[in-house]
Structure 1
């Protein structure tokens, strides 16, 4: 039998992240997710796989997160993943310090598809459209997923870090 040497030099040091209240509740109720380190202002972050987004979002709504403060997306860098996030708040009698959580979904940039949360929080309507327009994330089930800010025939996703701006863009008559 071989003895394992568990000295600090032989153990890979990975930060231990303590699950927040919402993450603990999700775990107790059997929802698959990953607790991430809190952000710089102490908001709990939860990583969710795209296929589990609808059940987890529905559970969070039932748990009291009745307000979608912000939905957005960002690019981790050329060749890396895209991230779609939802910042949720429990709006209730405690308006001075409401409970907050941010749900993040990491997506393959080659085929970034995620279910729309429009049917849970109507406020995600134009926010998901903007994330689609700027990053190319397809929000499946969205009732009107089309460009919001740029011409409908624009090619590419302007806020991706690997986006190459066209040399010119031909303006159409606006009559």
Structure 2
């Protein structure tokens, strides 16, 4: 094997990944983030089922939902950061302090493919505005969202401003805004 070719070991499954695998849920184990938070890649159709299983197992708080663009030729990503807050209540009763259990789910979408994924609003009401913002800025649609319309930009705005391939228009005329 050539010396300049390094073999990168696959990330080791964390506790959430092991639990999901034991329950029969398919997912991709991704590299943990810089703080050691477990990160899992989820296929869009399975997102609500896996999120429901995680919620039933104690991940009852959606801390943040957002999106990002991997760059030219890359994918668009919707992510969900979930916490177990019930464990924090138990810790406060025993006065021991441990960081909460957390996991991040990521759904990767080809920018040339279907940019619609199921909404997690029915499970986590806190997903309402973040999903709308992710749609508004990146064009990722959330099927089943109760109010799927722009949140930050005018309704007739063309394009999605936080995509890396976005071209800003030279001129925008506000229509009867009131």
TM-score, L = length of structure 1: 0.90
Which runs of at least 4 in structure 1 moved beyond 3 Å after TM superposition?
none
Pick the aligned partner of 1:164 from 160, 163, 167.
167
Give the corresponding residue for 2:74: 80
Deviation at 1:14, TM superposition (A): 2.8
| SS of aligned partner of 1:123 | helix
CA distance in 1, matches of 2:49, 2:159: 31
Give the corresponding residue for 2:102: 100
Q: How many residues align?
A: 168
CA distance in 2, matches of 1:49, 1:154: 29
Q: Which runs of 5+ in 2 are unaligned?
A: none
CA distance in 2, matches of 1:72, 1:104: 10
Larger mean Cα displacement after TM superposition, 92-101 or 105-114: 92-101
CA distance in 2, matches of 1:171, 1:8: 60
Look at both structures and tell me which one has the larger radius of gyration over its CA atoms. Answer: 1
User: More helix by proportion, 1 or 2?
Assistant: 2
Deviation at 1:79, TM superposition (A): 2.2
Q: Which runs of 5+ in 1 are unaligned?
A: 1-6
| SS of aligned partner of 1:143 | coil
Deviation at 1:37, TM superposition (A): 1.1
Deviation at 1:171, TM superposition (A): 2.0
TM-score, L = length of structure 2: 0.89
